[in-house]
Chain A
């Protein structure tokens, strides 16, 4: 099976940088995805990694280390609208996404 862990909650200040970690134990996966979900809304795609290293997309970056079973999502220049749940997911056979429990991020003034 797969086990994906994320911190339950994080709080950060507007304008700051925050790193949301995701650790996993799995027999294998093809891609690691990050989704953002605002309360009462659908998950929306942010970033994904296939190879080790950093993928940068504007204010959002995602990092993967397969040898360490670890990924993180980095959010820069935080804005109030970034307050949301951030979901880490592993992509596997049949394109199945297995999600972590999600991290609820609160951005404060």
Chain B
């Protein structure tokens, strides 16, 4: 009965590789997000999608490309991985985005990415 799930949980890879992280939610929510948490535990939004439409696209290198095949899934593809990409990536979802800034977000367990 997992609400927001992510795969893989751990990802260790070499610099220059391309990798993907998958996220799925079974809450029936319309909006999904990707956050990055760095080594200092600072959590920062990267992207959000509402019903498969890109809503938020923060200042993120274009090596990062989100894809939402349907409103229950939001994947993150990263090209040409760099050392600085090492972080924990959290997916989240919320009911919608109608009550702007007031929608509770529910987070997945995170994907720990280590680039060597």
Contacts and interface: CB of A to CB of B under 8 A. Distances in A.
Interface of A: 29-31, 33, 37, 41-45, 48, 50, 85, 87, 90-99, 101-102
Interface of B: 4, 31, 40-45, 48, 55-56, 90, 94, 97, 99-110
Nearest to B107: A42
Contacts, number: 70
Contacts of B107: 42-44
B103 A102 contact: no
A96 B106 contact: no
A99 B43 contact: yes
Given A30-B102, A94-B56, A96-B45, 8 more contacts: A30-B100, A85-B41, A91-B101, A91-B102, A95-B31, A95-B100, A96-B48, A98-B45
Nearest to B40: A101
9 contacts: A33-B104, A41-B109, A43-B107, A48-B104, A90-B101, A95-B55, A95-B99, A98-B45, A99-B43
B55 A94 contact: yes
B100 A42 contact: no
Contacts of B55: 94-95
The 4 closest A-B pairs by CB, nearest first: A30-B101, A91-B101, A42-B107, A31-B102
Nearest to A44: B107
